[in-house]
Homo-oligomer: A and B are copies of this chain.
Amino acid sequence: MRRTRLTPEREAELFDAVLALLREVGYDALTMDAVAARTRSSKATLYRQWKGKPELVATALRRKKPVSLADIDTGSVRGDLHAMLCNADEAEMERDAALMRGLGSAIHANPDLHRALRELLIEPEAAALDAMIRRGVDRGELAPGNPALGYVAHMMIGAFIARPLIEDRPVSPDYLARYVDAVVLPALGLADR
């Protein structure tokens, strides 16, 4: 049994296997045994590197995200919001939407998963979004007292959920860009109409 730290390549391979299994069988049916078998690792290695299944899944989701908000800083709020959307292609976005829907229901049945996702994925991304908004305030683009500043994530989540639910159409980068211009920027006081 190897005791050394995993190489980045080995970690990436592991995370790919976790996400592939998540898509194939869903969170509830995913087992550490299956991850170990598919990646030819020992379960001891998996448990040593991550605390358990919720932490392994949350870390895999974070590390394999197509774009990390913390890496974006274009110099304008509009540029930052559009940069959030442009790095994924349409097929990838649809695949990820299906994955997130499956996780959405798993979250409610598994408080451990919700806790791990909150700690390892949601809170870091929310902090990066807050930093993006704070830069806009510091540059004088955004009014510091605007109550919409705290609701950017809420607006974006609505765009992701409502499109398939109401319109029966998949989320696409074009649609999200239109939504940002129609809804998010005007709510932030950045409309140019």
Contact = CB atoms under 8 A, between A and B. Distances in A.
Interface of A: 98, 101-102, 104-105, 107-108, 118, 122, 126, 143, 146-148, 150-151, 153-159, 161-163, 165-166, 168, 178-179, 181-183, 186-187, 189, 191, 193
Contact of A158 (B105, B157, B181): B157
Contacts of A118: 168
Interface of A is mostly: helix
A153 B182 contact: no
Contacts of A153: 162, 166
A158 B118 CA distance: 17
Identical chains in the assembly: 2
B165 A179 contact: no
A156 B183 CA distance: 12
A181 B118 CA distance: 27
A186 to B, nearest CB: 5
B165 A122 contact: yes
Nearest to A149: B182
19 contacts: A101-B104, A101-B105, A101-B108, A102-B105, A122-B165, A126-B166, A146-B193, A148-B183, A153-B166, A154-B161, A154-B179, A154-B183, A157-B162, A157-B166, A182-B187, A183-B183, A183-B187, A186-B186, A186-B187
A1 B85 CA distance: 58
A171 to B, nearest CB: 11
A186 B155 CA distance: 13
Most chain B Cβ neighbours within 10 Å, of A104, A155, A179: A155
Contact of A157 (B108, B165, B179, B193): B165
